[in-house]
Amino acid sequence: MTEKLVVEVVAAHNLMPKDGQGSSSPFVEVEFGHQKRRTRPKSKDLNPVWNERLVFSVSDADDLPYRSIDVAVYNERISAASGRNFLGKVRIPVASVPGPGEEGIPQLFPLEKRSIFSHIRGEISLKLYRIAASGDLQVAKAKNQQSREKPQMKQQKPNAAIAIPPSVLTQKPPELAPRPPPEMLKPVVLTATPPAPPPEAYHFGDFSLKETRPKLGVGASCSERDKTCSTYDLVEQMQYLYVHVVRARELPIPGGTETHAEVKLGNFRGVTRPSPCHHWDQAFAFTKDSVQSSTLEIVVKDRAENFIGRLSLDLGEVPRRVPPDSTLAPQWYRLEDRNGERGKSEAMVSIWFGTQADEAFSDAWHPRAAGVPSDSVASIKSKVYVAPKLWYLRVSILEAQDVVAGEKNATFVGRFPELFAKVQVGNQLLRTRSAQLGPSRTLSNPLWNEDLLFVVAEPFDDLLIISIEDRVGPGREEPLARVVIPVSTVERRLDAKQVVSRWLALDRHGGAGRFVSRVHLHLCLEGGYHVLDETTMYSSDLRPPAKQLWLPHVGVLELGVLGATSLMPMKHREGKGGSTDAYCVAKYGQKWIRTRTAVDSSNPKWNEQYTWEVFDPCTVLTVGVFDNSLGGGGDTPIGKVRIRLSTLQTDHVYTHAYPLLVLHPNGVKKTGELHLALRFSCSNAGNMIHSYLRPLLPKMHYDEPLLVRQVENLRHRATDVVSARLGRAEPPLGREVVEYMLDHGSRLWSMRKSKANFFRLVAVLSGPVAAARWVNSIRSWHRPVQSFVVAVAFLTFVAFPESIPPLGFLVASAIGAWRYRSRPRDPPHMDARLSHAEGAYFDELDEEFDGFPTSRGGEAVRMRYDRLRSVAGRVQTVVGEVATQGERVRALLSWRDPRATFLFLVFCLAAAAVFYVVPGRVVVAIGWVYAMRPPRFRDRLPSPFVSFFRRLPTMADTLL
């Protein structure tokens, strides 16, 4: 059934004058799916009334939830050649438009700017709805009715209006643009007053964080809490009936016959794995809601489904087990035959009531797994993964001696050789540049003196292969000699002390030669660097791989994955329509967790709790939601959440519903909400405070720093190593999951990200700009009393300069203490507006989702386009870093990180006292002498103040 989209442009209010005479002649242009329609202009009217219907064709109704409607208001100039003036725009997602048969209502939208230099004001009233193709006749009838009403409207005064009821005006529009307060909303001219819709109809643009109040064990009193509350108190308790079928004996069948057991509870049926020795050892978990029968039946059958024996158990006498109580011992029960008589056959079974804290929960069979293919059952269970410990392998190739020409070229005579070294570790392959040949160097003794870095993982099973090759032509390389070294035999280095170089004999390619070639190498496994497999701003672990360099942990992070609501259907099943098989993945440090898969549920309940040791509070926890493909391909990401631990108060439980936002080629969309419970506990306050003064990265990053480009290349290699290792686990964690959690490919150029970083920079600079304007107003004497007070205060400070520093620090302390009441109470979440995802245009998103290299245009365009994106990506990063530094300054007194703000306030008070006691001139002189000290008296490590500043939180955590 085809549809049409109808946009009724009702009226506008309080538009900006643009014609130079204090007025405008506005008209509205609406664009949808490459279709443009416009209204008639209203001459000299800042409060125009159109009441015009614009109808658009819909080519694909299934694609509507990802499309948007662009509405722009322009001023028509007198001369056609003069063009038009921009008066404002609105972008509306089609997902919020009522479907066929539903009644649309007028909505008031504030006009948005096109850029920061636009001067825009006012609102526009629109009515949007969809109709079936047969509804065209109704549209025509409506137009006729409108034409009959026009004479009546002409008799009314231009400013006459019918006010919208307050219930309609207070409804939230589908986009996330800020609404003016109700008292600022002006009446809008309408032909009728439609009834207000229910509030449930306006959830399309709700990207906010919501606090929830689940029934957790942490909130219960001591008398109400059971023994599981000490370890499972951040989730809601879920009651299960556990049935553990162990084995059977003395069955009346020939030996070696495969048998299995069926567990029946009402309409639910679970089957064990077949076993020739009648030993199954399998557990089943039935939710308490699914226990609709008073008896449990266990039937033993052979492979041909022939009946062997049956056992019936009364659920009224089933005991309850509460961990850490020991597991219930299984018992022997006699089986009944078809006549209900008991023979010698017996089955060993244990049955009990428990919660998800039971040890059998993770490996138990659940009723929802009945429709899952047998080869995918393992992928729906909860698992804990440990990512490999990554090291940098440094290969310094200095020189070679007695290199002999290959068989294809007996000598180097007649051409200039291009000798280079090729180094391979696993799937990583690097080459040196061509050898340097100087006056003291012969063709058989090349010199390189070049460092190559690789990423390797414990237990170092890879081989290091170094070969000397000659480039004999374009694309043609001839190997001359090589050496193979096990990575496990390479020396490990923990500090900046240089390792001893060594000469290694090379095996000549094709057999032994007359001379023994050898190569001079520096080889070491770098244990003092932290190997980044995620971006620095989202890093969850900053420790080096060498355990000798680890410091004691400072706290414990507890995460309760409660559930999700309103997940979008991610796949289509025959006869069921859209469905979602969702599971969560959380990453912090080396520990990755995966919850069980909630099969075919858009509102899954997991209620699983996990714990991590925290070694640095200035790190980020990442939680992602994915749709399990159940063996049908790669898993699809539904959304993710990032939470910086330093923004959490210690020993406080946070329970919130986080919006899951995904960027689509047609815009940003909300795919559901993730419900989490968080608690960050401090184990040692001294270590916690000291961690704010330590350098952000290990010492080796400052003694021998790596290049930014080099670190980024190594990060991609580390992602590949982690993906390969977790992909070999059981069940495997797919590459698409690992790359999504580690933000693989986040450095590519994006117009949307560049705009977001630019507006972050504008927000940071707004404070100094406001201060400059205030100073200018003081100099202009617009407020004489205020200007006089400032002038007297300035003269006082000139007379007593030593009072400036203590007073300044005292004022900063007072401002910080005053802002404590308005500190952020909720953890950060993805912000669609800050990410500039709502206002992104189609071509910008098409550029962002385009592959690298680009597939648009010819070879020349592709080369220029890729170069532009590469350069712009660096500019984007620099702009983001500048904004990050400014946001850290603002975070000093914002209480986003309560411990950091508290430390800064203590420092301000102490500095105020010091500057009060010590003369200011002495402090300035000491500071100047300290800043100008010779380099030999300086430490390469950052100062505690710099380390403290770099640990402050930024708005980068909330970027999408």
- Quick one: pLDDT at residue 440? 55
Q: Where are the beta strands (DSSP E) in 509-570?
A: 518-526, 555-565
Per DSSP, the three-state class of 328 is coil
**DSSP per-residue string spanning 76-114:** EPSSGGG-EEEEEEEEEEGGGS--TTSPP-EEEEE-B-S
- Quick one: pLDDT at residue 625? 95
> In sequence order, what are the residues at sequence separation of 6 or more whose Cβ sits closer than 8 angstroms to the Cβ of residue 155?
none
- CA–CA separation, 583 vs 380, rounded Å? 8
Please name the residue that has the structure tokens 């009364």. Answer: 314
Residue 939 burial class via C-beta count within 10 angstroms: exposed 0-12, middle 13-18, buried 19 and up:
exposed
Tell me if 897 sits within 8 A of 647, measured CB to CB. Answer: yes
Q: Residue 931's CB: how many other CB atoms inside 10 A?
A: 7
Closest CA to 366 of 245, 242, 232, 275: 242
Per DSSP, the three-state class of 582 is strand
Helix axes 920-931, 804-818, angle to 10 degrees: 90
- CA–CA separation, 743 vs 717, rounded Å? 13
For residue 777, what are the CA distances in angstroms to 770, 780, 786? 10, 5, 10
**Residue 755 is inside which H or E element, if any?**
helix 751-780
Q: Which amino acid is at 228?
A: T
Q: Where are the beta strands (DSSP E) in 665-808?
A: 667-682
Task: Find out whether the peptide bond into 214 is cis, omega within 30 degrees of 0.
Answer: no
Tell me if 621 sits within 8 A of 651, measured CB to CB. Answer: no
**Residue 477 is inside which H or E element, if any?**
strand 476-486
Q: Which amino acid is at 595?
A: T
Closest CA to 106 of 132, 124, 130: 124
Bridge partners of 636, per DSSP, are 627
- Quick one: pLDDT at residue 200? 33
Q: What is the pTM of this model?
A: 0.70
φ/ψ of 709, rounded to 5, equals -65, -35
φ/ψ of 562, rounded to 5, equals -80, -55
- Quick one: pLDDT at residue 139? 46
Write out the two tokens for 856: 């648009």
Tell me if 952 sits within 8 A of 891, measured CB to CB. Answer: yes
Tell me if 239 sits within 8 A of 289, measured CB to CB. Answer: no
Taking the alpha carbons at both ends of the chain, their separation in whole angstroms is 36
Domains parsed from the chain with CATH numbers: 3-132 (2.60.40.150), 239-370 (2.60.40.150), 389-526 (2.60.40.150), 547-742 (2.60.40.150), 751-951 (no CATH)
- CA–CA separation, 399 vs 862, rounded Å? 39
Please name the residue that has the structure tokens 């162990």. Answer: 246
- Quick one: pLDDT at residue 612? 94
Q: 555-565 and 507-508 as β-strands: parallel, antiparallel, unpaired?
A: unpaired
**Residue 700 is inside which H or E element, if any?**
helix 700-703
Q: Residue 918's CB: how many other CB atoms inside 10 A?
A: 14
- Quick one: pLDDT at residue 414? 52
- Quick one: pLDDT at residue 77? 80
199: left (phi over 0), alpha (psi -120 to 50) or beta: alpha
- CA–CA separation, 910 vs 216, rounded Å? 42
- CA–CA separation, 185 vs 795, rounded Å? 48
Per DSSP, the three-state class of 11 is strand
- Quick one: pLDDT at residue 764? 86
For residue 642, what are the CA distances in angstroms to 23, 612, 831, 959? 48, 16, 11, 9
Closest CA to 830 of 209, 211, 210: 209
Bridge partners of 396, per DSSP, are 451, 522
> In sequence order, what are the residues at sequence separation of 6 or more whose Cβ sits closer than 8 angstroms to the Cβ of residue 45?
23, 24, 25, 26, 158
Q: Where are the alpha helices (DSSP H) in 264-417?
A: none
Q: Which amino acid is at 163?
A: A
Q: Which residues of the chain have pLDDT under 70?
A: 1, 79-82, 115-118, 133-205, 218-231, 370-371, 405-416, 436-443, 509-515, 574-577, 843, 860, 863-864, 867, 871, 928
- Quick one: pLDDT at residue 205? 55
> In sequence order, what are the residues at sequence separation of 6 or more whose Cβ sits closer than 8 angstroms to the Cβ of residue 2?
57, 58, 61, 132, 133
- CA–CA separation, 496 vs 529, rounded Å? 10
Q: Where are the alpha helices (DSSP H) in 99-190?
A: 136-155, 166-169
Tell me if 406 sits within 8 A of 756, measured CB to CB. Answer: no
